[in-house]
Chain A
Amino acid sequence: MGQTNSMTNFSRRIALYTDRNKRSNENILGFGDGNDLKRVITVNAPQQVKYISNRISTSKYSFLTFLPKFLFEQFRKYSNIFFLCIAILQQIPGVSPTGRYTTAVPLLMILCCAAIKEIIEDFKRHIQDGAVNNRRVLIYRYGNWLYSKWMNVRVGDIIKVADKEFFPADLIVLSSSEPHSICYIHTSNLDGETNLKVRQGLPQTSHIISSLQLKALQGTIECELPNRHLYDFAGTLKLANVAHPIPLGSDQILLRGSQLKNTGWVYGLVIYTGKETKLMMNSSSVPFKRTNVEQIANNQILLLLFLLLILCLFSTIAGEIWNYKNRVAHWYLGLTRMPDSSSAAVPNHVGYTFLTFFILFNNLIPISLQITVDLVKFIQAYFINWDKDMYDEESDIPANARTSNLNEELGQVKYIFSDKTGTLTKNVMVFKQCSIAGIMYGSGNIEKFNHFQLMQNLTNHESGGEIREFLTLLATCHTVVPEKKTDLLVDVTYQASSPDESALVAALKEMNVIFFRRTPDNVAISFMGEEEIYEILNVLEFSSDRKRMSVVVRCPDGQIKLFCKGADSVILQLLSSDDPNSGITSQHLESFAKDGLRTLCVASRVILSDEYNSWIEIYRQAATAINNRAELVAEAAEKIEKNLHLLGATGIEDKLQDQVPESISMLHKAGIKIWVLTGDKKETAVNIGYSCKLLSDQLLNLTLDEDSLEDTRRQLQDHCSSFGESLRKDNLASLVIEGKTLKFALAPPCRQDFLDLAISCKSVICCRVSPKQKAEVVELVKRSTDAITLAIGDGANDVGMIQTAHVGVGIMGREGVQAACASDYSIGQFRFLTKLLFVHGVWSYRRLCKVLLYSFYKNICLYVMELWFAVHNGFSGQILFERWTIATYNVLFTAAPPMALGLLDRCCSAETMMRFPALYKMSQNKSDFNIKIFWTWCLNAVYHSIILYFMSYAMLRHGNMAYTAGLESDAWTLLTHISIWGSIASWFLFLIIYSNFWPTIPLAPEMRGMAKYVFSSMYFWFGLILIPFTALMADVIYNCLQRTLYKTLMQEVQEKELANQDPYDLVMARQTSTVSRVAERLALLKSVFVRTRTPKMSGIVAGPYHGFAFSQEEDGVVPQNQLIRNYDTNIVKPPGL
């Protein structure tokens, strides 16, 4: 459609893509054709060249590549490299204070955990690939039809695809069940456009409607090499029985990812398979996404590393000074004694001392952090998968977290970029309301149009005649083609490239006004059982400029009439000046539009045969003109489309997905800004904007609709300056921008202004956006604000933005799985997004933050104690705790508490989180994890370590406890959980078991018998109670104070919840202040905008909104006029076997 790329660019682009396809080039060179820019496919014969198979694979590892790839991935992480280095350093004899394997073993354990996790994740991908690869399709091979799997489809195969099926590969249409090899396809998966597109086979092959004829087909197809251009194709077909090569273009191509619609079947010849299909060429590999929290944590790790180095340096210097002063005096240490044999020289170098401390303190950086976080996220992802509230009963699709490492980002989303079709809407149009002769029928609240009143008025009311005319018009003025399966009129089905017309005709059928036959010249309808035939004299096509479609018909009574339907803005201008209905109909239109209905105005006119005869001359001339034909035809049409009589208007509902308006309003309340990026036209987009409450009359509605860079810039600057102070803040404003204007707005000179303007608005709607622009818009926002962005979509055209955004969510719909496959999370319905964000996102975020903080805390606390101990042992690098005890500290004793925190902790119940989206703002503002909080925790850890160490020290001074291992029992309880008690218990258990190792297992000689002595010492037990309590007292006091004096909203809600009270008032009370502030600002803004408004440059939607929208394929392969003329539904369609 709009994306017609001129063929002149084509060869240049081919040249660009040649190196990409070097392998295929060589193949073709081997074929000896001499032309390395072509792919030659023989029809109905084995191929000379082996092409890649149609199997697709999105998995990361295979059986063989697992180990090297996995290790590579793991050792790309800094922390793993760091610990690997430590493990290697420990192998230097005499340097390590903790033995040789105390880092290697935990590291190995951690790698094993990671490996198991990777295997499970990849296994899922293998299964999903398998599902796609094993779909079935009919292949014609060696004269037989085979029912085979998608992955077995090969280049050169002829396949048959039936209605509603997806194409397994890129095909050339040979023929279809429809006349002239026409077929309809649905490409929203590829480009997001809702209307059906027409493809047509070549006339030379359209006769092939049976396998016999297929068998006779001989020849070759030459086509360009696989490339990623969806709208370009060039090739030639050389048939054995046709002298000249026949050109093939993009009108003959059916792409993988699109779906056959309203067509019985097509025969297609496979040209590109698997990774070489245009769809797959367009899907880049999933980029690695790193989360914000991880980023901060990583930076802090680097800082910690720096701190570690300082600590080591300090300790080394202190150690050297101590040594220098004391090595002679402290004779018993034997520091000055030379070893007996020079072979076993004791390393005594400063560098070695440094390394000793480096190894001693290395666990300041928690070794288990990465794996704990990974595991926690992994299981969190399972919680998402397990959530039955996010399970779509209808399509049997549960939510699916495809990557687990973005969970916490879900809790911080500030911008949502949404696709329209399939995401917000169901892509189902339903006739909902109409207004005929000033009377409104139907209601916005009822699911289906109730035609009882209409039928009554048809017979009894004074407007009966107009009603009849209205219905007749709708039944005749369209491009729909009926299909009769049986002779019964009830069984008629319709196919149309315009979903609006389809909805209208289907609704008429319900009212017993059945359109049932189309022949090249006639339309036959059954009006309440009476057959009427209307002769179609002329079709004046629909176009975006004209915004209307008309037919000139000869009625059964011989009268010539013009039936016209189109946008109110156009039709109301064409009415005769004294039209009685226009006022009231306008009001009705307004009310339809408010409900988000797509409206069309319907008007007719009787044409006298003289007038018709004179007009037809003009029209014929225009229609056969060589230059400017379209313009001339439009001019001619205008000559007859005048003095119309307004019959009424229709309201068609573009069915929204379930609970979309509610979800959107929740998301708005949570402070999330929603952008709709759609490939559809502005009218359709605005319509949906109204129906899902993105736009409303309470908002300041801005529109950007300019045709040049200069105008766009000026308008942007105007708007920006009008916003004044409230630019880049929350405003009750919305912005609608056209695709062509967006192109200018995204250009460097305008970009900043556009961004400023757009982020000042609550909702933004971008129309006619190409997939690439979608990604660009997301990229712009992602780059220029530090907010987290989320993209949600369902089609292949959304893949770009899904991959660009921080978090990509795919709707796993009926429309294929391309978007879902590229996404990080896939869900069955848009409405599940709220739970995904408000509950899983917030919980995951808060949990993860706690896990991170706790992990750092516990290690800092433990290892700073080593520093205090160093003061007491002459900075010799002696360990305070037994070596394996600390080695397992992270992976055993303190593994459970962070895990439990990460999985079980929750701040508020799911119900509360869902009821009060405002709670989301807390995590959105990154209030749980930032540099300040991180270092507060670190300082707290140091404080705790001081208390723990020096209290134990004071106790020991007086007592006679043999060894300080008992210290360790203060299992750093911070948050009371079973697992914490478990981890303390595990320490006890460990001590009991471990202290009995020696000498049966050659480990830990000094621990032998420790348990007995430690546990029999009363000091130990009393100390155990006292010391942790003392350490925690400060935290408890701080918490209390903070809770008492300054509560956060979250905490207040928590309390209310615990007290079984309704936190409603609370949330409301907190909100009102901000709401009123924003409202004030809006009032101010509106006044500013109104004042500065100039007639031309306004860009503000002026006047009431009437909701016109209509989709129809324009400039397609087959013009609407011809399309109608092509059909003769009296002829039986071929079965295609």
Chain B
Amino acid sequence: MSTPENTDDREQPKSKKPADTAFKQQRLPAWQPILTANTALPVFLIIGLTFIPIGIVLVVTSNRVLEYDIDYTDTKCININNNNNQTCADYLKDNPVPTTPCTCKINFTLTSDFDGDVYFYYGLINYYQNHRRYVKSRDDNQLLGKSGSAATDCEPFQKINGTDIAPCGAIANSLFNDTLTLVYSGQTVPLQNTSIAWSTDKNVKFQNPSDPDPYFRNHAKPPNWNKTAWQLDPTHEDNNGFENEDFIVWMRTAAMPTFRKLYRKLLTTSEPFTKGLPSGTYELTIVYQYPVINFAGRKQFIISTTSWMGGKNPFLGWAYIVVGIVCVIVFAVFFILHRFWKMYVLAY
């Protein structure tokens, strides 16, 4: 060959041999769980045997939690202001905007002491706080105390005659406004209406505007309200406006049409409530203002103690027990199957 070799300036290229690493050669160690009757049998047994005790513990814990609830939607709540034995529900139906609110008293008896922290809830049934239009109808920026007009999301509760509503939106407009008070042998049960909301909500999410009093006077109140936001809690100056805890609790919408919301906590500073609610007869006074009858809703008043798990929840415990039992049954079936199948196969 007569090609001038000296002009060939190509270098010996680097070898293209792939690197020999476990990852590149796909030799990473791997755990291959193979589910056969053999390997799965012990697993089922172990799970069954752990789940059943857990379930029992959970059920017991849940049963220790005392709960008492009263449905005061209609029959139990008779208007005490007039004497025609009318239920508050009917009264409210007849007078959608009553001059004097309907009040009723219900007596009930707690058969055992409610020890420890006692929580008071109001519960609503068939109430769609999770409706998309409803959930959307709020303005979180307004609730942060920021100036500026209410968001269009609040529609149809954005403005009244051109004035912004504060707080705007359907959620705020429909704030639960029954008043529930409890009397025990002539003594009003001391209830705490603060620190019932999430601390983050109270401290971060809900902020009053810098100059609250004129702010709320200059804005329209929601059409359903009979007072402005600044008048929600006359007893505590700083529990008003957007920072009112009842309001904050209401604003955290429930996921299901059946829900309960924390209403009050028992104040354990004075006798005889230092240890909790003593057993005995109580008188519940309800200022009945919240209409639910039209949509077949129900209202409840709930008293509950708490455990390390939280509130009463028998379902979880029973679910554990059921799943545990199923595991054990599966174990048994597999065990038998495994034995007999092998015999069958061998015989065959």
Contact = CB atoms under 8 A, between A and B. Distances in A.
Interface stretch (B20-28, B108-116, B274-282): B20-28
Contacts of A265: 1-3
Contacts of B311: 958-960
A963 B310 contact: no
Contacts of A132: none
Contacts of A165: 3
A998 interface: yes
Contacts of B127: 332
A1026 B253 CA distance: 26
Interface string A940-974: 00000000000101111111101110000000000
Contact of B26 (A330, A869, A906, A1002): A906
Interface in A1115-1137: 1135-1137
Given A341-B159, A953-B256, A396 B314 contact: no
Given A955-B313, A999-B205, A1029 B47 contact: yes
A334 B1 CA distance: 95
Contact of B158 (A344, A391, A976, A1033): A344
Interface string B14-55: 011111100011111010111111001000000100010010
A388 B20 contact: yes
Interface residues of A, number: 97
Contacts of A904: 28, 30
Nearest to B337: A1044
Given A162-B2, A904-B30, A1033-B326, A1017 B310 contact: yes
Given A97-B132, A339-B156, A1044-B36, A956 B255 contact: yes
Interface in A183-221: none
Contact of B17 (A332, A388, A843): A388
A1041 to B, nearest CB: 8
Given A344-B152, A957-B256, A874 B128 contact: yes
B68 interface: no
B155 A346 contact: yes
Contacts of B326: 1033
Interface string A992-1011: 00000011001001101100
Interface string A1035-1055: 011011101110000010011
Secondary structure class of chain B's binding surface, majority of residues: loop
B13 A873 contact: no
B252 A1040 contact: no
Given A393-B17, A964-B255, A876 B334 contact: no
Contact of A873 (B19, B27, B131): B131
Nearest to A135: B10
Interface in B302-337: 308-316, 319-320, 323, 326-327, 330, 334, 337
B200 A334 contact: no
A1105 interface: no
B295 A326 contact: yes
Contacts of A332: 127, 134, 170, 173-174
A901 B144 CA distance: 45
A1136 B291 CA distance: 109
Interface residues of B, number: 96
B309 A1005 contact: no
A398 B20 CA distance: 13
Contacts of A93: 152
A133 B262 CA distance: 77
B130 interface: yes
Interface stretch (A379-387, A697-705, A799-807): A379-387
B199 interface: yes
A385 B34 CA distance: 30
A333 interface: yes
A1044 B342 CA distance: 9
Given A964-B255, A1013-B198, A329 B144 contact: no
A116 interface: no
A160 B16 CA distance: 31
A982 to B, nearest CB: 15
A976 B338 contact: no
B257 interface: yes
Nearest to B260: A960
A1030 B320 CA distance: 9
Given A329-B295, A340-B156, A388-B18, A1135 B2 contact: yes
Given A998-B204, A1018-B309, A334 B30 contact: no
B166 to A, nearest CB: 14
Contact of B35 (A346, A955, A1036): A1036
Contacts of A1005: 140, 143, 205
A632 to B, nearest CB: 43
B157 interface: yes
B287 interface: no
Contact of B199 (A873, A1009, A1051): A1009
A734 to B, nearest CB: 36
A955 B135 contact: no
A1019 interface: yes
B316 A1019 contact: yes
Nearest to A1021: B309
A385 B158 contact: no
A396 B13 contact: yes
B121 interface: yes
Contacts of A1023: 316
Given A330-B295, A333-B134, A383-B24, A958 B128 contact: no
Given A957-B258, A998-B204, A1043 B18 contact: no
A951 B320 CA distance: 11
Nearest to A999: B144
B314 A958 contact: yes
Nearest to B198: A1009
B141 to A, nearest CB: 8
B187 interface: no
A962 B30 CA distance: 41
B2 A1055 contact: no
B140 A396 contact: no
Contacts of B17: 388, 391, 393, 396, 398
Contacts of A227: none
A953 to B, nearest CB: 7
Given A332-B174, A876-B132, A1043-B36, A264 B1 contact: yes
A961 to B, nearest CB: 8
B200 A1012 contact: yes
B58 interface: yes
Contacts of A1044: 36-37, 334, 337-338, 341
B133 interface: yes
B32 A1054 contact: yes
A545 B252 CA distance: 96
B8 interface: yes
Contacts of B296: 329
Contacts of B58: 1022
B122 to A, nearest CB: 12
Contact of B155 (A162, A328, A339): A339
B257 A873 contact: yes
B36 A1055 contact: yes
A351 to B, nearest CB: 16
B291 A331 contact: yes
Nearest to B220: A340
Given A344-B158, A1041-B337, 9 more contacts: A93-B152, A330-B128, A340-B160, A953-B256, A999-B205, A1023-B316, A1026-B319, A1033-B326, A1058-B32
6 contacts: A162-B2, A330-B128, A388-B20, A876-B133, A1009-B198, A1026-B51
Interface of B: 1-4, 7-8, 10, 13, 15-20, 24-28, 30, 32-37, 40, 47, 51, 54, 58, 121, 127-128, 130-135, 137, 140-141, 143-144, 152, 155-162, 170, 173-174, 198-201, 204-205, 252-260, 262, 291, 294-296, 308-316, 319-320, 323, 326-327, 330, 334, 337-338, 341
Q: Please provide the 10 A-B residue pairs with the shortest distance between their CB atoms, ordered closest to farther.
A: A1009-B200, A332-B174, A329-B295, A1005-B140, A876-B132, A386-B24, A878-B132, A340-B159, A964-B255, A337-B156
